[in-house]
Amino acid sequence: MARGDGLLLEVVDYKDPQRWRWVLKDASGDYLADQEVNLDLQDPNTTAILDLQGHLDRHSSPGDRMAEQKRLIDELSRWIGSKVSGKVACRQAGPDADGDEVIQGITEKARGDNS
């Protein structure tokens, strides 16, 4: 893919806020990668991303709050990378992705449009 080509990241197979599938396509609409997302509401990382500030407040010690919060955010970022972005992020961040514009899209079905 040439520098500056756009990428389209779509939400497809949307079931609810915890379950959907990403599909990454190139500027021509050709499939590049996909990632199933199935977030477990019992997983502390899921609840952390739903209330990030509360998570940071509850789990960072007052003595070194900034370092603790950075550590917590780094941990969550790795989790998001594996559970939410996965293969789509790896493909998007590949060596040819430098400078690519990513356009996020939601299918009509995921938006609730029935037309």
> CB 12: neighbour CB atoms within 10 A?
14
State the pLDDT at residue 33: 86
Is residue 1 domain-resident?
no
Residue 91's φ and ψ, nearest 5 degrees, are -65, -40
Asked if 49 contacts 80 with a C-beta cutoff of 8 angstroms, the reply is: yes
Residue 25 lies in a domain: yes
- Average pLDDT over all residues of the chain: 79
Residue 94 has pLDDT above 80, yes or no: no
> Is the residue at 101 inside a domain?
yes
What tens digit of pLDDT does each residue of 43-93 get? 999 999 989 999 999 998 888 899 999 999 999 998 988 888 877 766 555
- Overall domain count for the chain: 1
| Domain enclosing residue 34, as ranges | 6-111
Residue 67 domain-assigned (yes or no): yes
